[in-house]
Structure 1
Amino acid sequence: MTARPRIADYMARDLILLRPDMEILHAMKILLEKRISGAPVVDAEGHLVGVLSKKDCLRAALHGAYYQEWGGQVAAFMSAPAATLDVDLDLVEATESFLASPYRRFPVLREGELVGQISRADLLRALVDNWSG
C-alpha cells in the first residue's frame, strides 16, 4: 500500500511573514498588495506567535472607525496562539482539520518550527490532482 500524499508536498514554502510589533496598517497593506487572506506572525527569532487574517484586519478597521483612532501593533489584533498543522499530515487528515475549523489557511510546523503554510485552495488542488482519474 502506498502512503497517502502529505501536505508537505503541496504547502507554500515562500511565505510572507509579519512581525508582532509591525504597525497594523502596514500589515493590512501587505495582505492586500500580495492578495493573500492571512500571514503567519513570527518573533525576532522566527518562532510562530500568531496569525493575522483579513478578518482580524476587519476587526482592527472597525475598532479604528468606531474610536476614530487608527493604528496599533499586529500583536493587538492577531489570532494567538495559532492553530497549526504538522508537515507530515496526510491530505485526508488535513481536509478533516479544515472542515472542523473556520480557518482558510494553517501554518505548517516541523518539530515546532514554521516550515510552510497550506490554504484551502492548496488542499483542494492537491485532492483534485491525486484523485481525479
Structure 2
Amino acid sequence: MAVNASRRIALLLTVVTLLLVSLAPWGPIETRSFEHLSPTVYWGFNAFLILLGLGSFATAYRLWSGNTSALLAAIVAGVLYIAVYGLDLAGIFPTSPDAMPPLLLAIEIVDTALAVVLVVYSYWVWNRATPRRGRAETRAS
C-alpha cells in the first residue's frame, strides 16, 4: 500500500472525527436538549461517541504510520459515523423536542458524505493491499 493513500485516509478520518468533536453537547453548535433521555441512555451514547472519537484518532495515527492493518478499522469507524449521523438525520435517535439547528444539520450532512468517501476509499485501498487468496485454485473433479 502506498504511504500516500494511507496518509490521505488518516487525514480524512481525522477531519471526520474533528467534525464530530465540534458537535459536543452544550456547545455552540449542538444546542438541542436531551433531558428526556434516561441518564443511562444519554451517558451510554456519549461514551460510545467518545470511544468512537478516540478510536478514530488512534486509527488515524496508525494509518499515518503506514500500518495497513488499520484500514479495516477505518472502514468500521466510517460505517459507525454513517450510522450515527443517519439515525440522527432520520430523527430516530437521539430525539429531541428542539429543532435541529441549521449549522448542525449542515455539519452532519457534510460529515456523512465524508464518512461515505472514507469507507469507499478505505475499502478500495484495503482491497488492493490485501492479497487475493483462492483465485488461482481450481476445483478437483
- TM-score by length of structure 1 reads 0.31
Larger radius of gyration between Structure 1 and Structure 2 = 2
Question: Could you say which structure has the higher helix fraction?
Answer: 2
Relative to total residues, which structure has the larger strand share, 1 or 2?
1
Q: Which has the higher contact order (CA 8 A, sep 6+)?
A: 2
- TM-score normalised by the chain length of structure 2: 0.30
